[in-house]
Amino acid sequence: MITTKRLKISVSLIIFIVILANNICFANIDDDEVIDINEIKKETIEAVSKNTEELKLNSKIGLIFDRNSKTILYEKNELKQVPMASTTKIMTAIVVLENANLDDIVTISKKAAGTGGSRLGLKTNDKITVHDLLYGLMLKSGNDAAVALAEHVGGEIDGFAELMNKKASEMGLVNSHFVTPHGLDQEKHYTTAYELACMADYALNIPKFREIVGSKKYNITINARSSLIGNTNELLGNLYGVYGVKTGFTNGAGRCLVTACKRDDIDIITVVLSANTKKERTLDSVKLIEYANKNYDVINIEEKIKEKFNNWKQLNEKRIYINKAKTQNINLQIEELKYSKMAVNKKDIDKINIEINSLYYLEAPVYENQIIGNVKVKIGDETIAILNIYNKELIHKKDIFDYFIDFLSFVPWLLNKNLLL
């Protein structure tokens, strides 16, 4: 009798420990720490105002990414491969939005309903649209929603992970690898701050994604019943200019936050990874945003380049000699810059220099799109862009007939000089 009772207690204790361990190992519930946003904003803005040129983060990894020029304005361990928790769901949403019909109705599997960590609260056989699952994925950070979407699009989690990795490869992301659609800790599931910013930048160009991550609240419908959910992003609606993107937390990844913020022409993405606490990631994210807006201005670099090139072209195009060419009328063009605007540190604006280098002697034929020089855009000694100068139209080499015509044009002069018999 005593042995049976002890056995029951032992079994119950083991079950409790297993459940507790599962929650400890995989938990990514992201709203369990209460923070005071106003206090953080006040503390951060004061700190940045006192020291505008130096930025110190408590988090292990941080980044400011300029959306205009796709360049890095600030970095701390931006290329280190690390787990990224629920910020994984940025790529999950990209793959779903590009491969699924938003109106499709998904029947929730037992596997999806049983997924741990942060949840939307889905149950086996629940019915919900892809559209509302995406809101549950990005606002509530539902791991159950992530699995449901993965099964719907990829057939299974492994199949969906293949689609995620394929998309990463197409985007040129070489330091990211996906194993799950939700970001619960897995050995081979990782990214970098820089590549995570690239993912967010890509995703924000998808209107539906931007609409979702910019929503503070949303009414989702499960089994024809409506339910209001809130966004886990503590900065959305609480810090001027913030319009997304995603929070994250696991024991392995620490506290993570990817934030998009636009104030006037300053349009940036900040990434904070491996923070120790929710307050730390929020504080560092606000620091990054305030630092960028305090120290940077946006300039129309494309306009400056075109003005410089057009002035140079007017003075120098006719100086280019093409040996043995049918015509000396060369039409030079400049390669298009991939962006028109860029954020530049205020102290470096006067250091912007545009150098133009060109060949002045060419041999015919000169082919269409043949490169004959370049434009270098520099800030101080650093080259930030090189654009090719090319010939727009084919210039043919003279043939025998052309030389004969040239000779005939000299005949009157030769006759005048009595040089012809």
- CA-CA distance, 152 to 139, in Å (whole number)? 20
Q: Report strand pairing: 361-363 vs 321-323.
A: parallel
409 included as an active-site residue: no
CA 106 to chain centre: 29
**Which residues are within 8 A (CB) of 248 and not within 5 positions of it... i.e. 6 or more apart?**
28, 30, 84, 85, 86, 87, 88, 89, 141, 183, 255, 256, 257, 258
Q: Report strand pairing: 61-66 vs 71-76.
A: antiparallel
Taking a C-beta distance cutoff of 8 angstroms, is the pair 307, 278 a contact?
no
**Which residues are within 8 A (CB) of 372 and not within 5 positions of it... i.e. 6 or more apart?**
320, 332, 358, 359, 362, 366, 389, 390, 391
Q: Report strand pairing: 217-222 vs 127-129.
A: unpaired
Adjacent-strand bridge partners of 206? none
Fill in the amino acid letter for 312.
W
DSSP 350: G
- Is the torsion defined by CA of 223, 226, 228, 233 positive or negative? positive
89 included as an active-site residue: yes
- CA-CA distance, 173 to 150, in Å (whole number)? 21
Residue among 86, 109, 176, 285 flagged as catalytic: 86
Distance (Å) of CA 370 to CA 323, 325, 397: 15, 15, 15
Distance (Å) of CA 239 to CA 44, 191, 287, 374: 12, 27, 12, 43
Region for residue 254 given its phi and psi (left: phi exceeds 0; alpha: psi -120 to 50; beta: otherwise): left
Residue among 141, 215, 274, 285 flagged as catalytic: 141
Terminal alpha carbon distance of the chain: 138
Residue among 89, 140, 167, 246 flagged as catalytic: 89
| Catalytic residue numbers, as ranges | 86, 89, 141
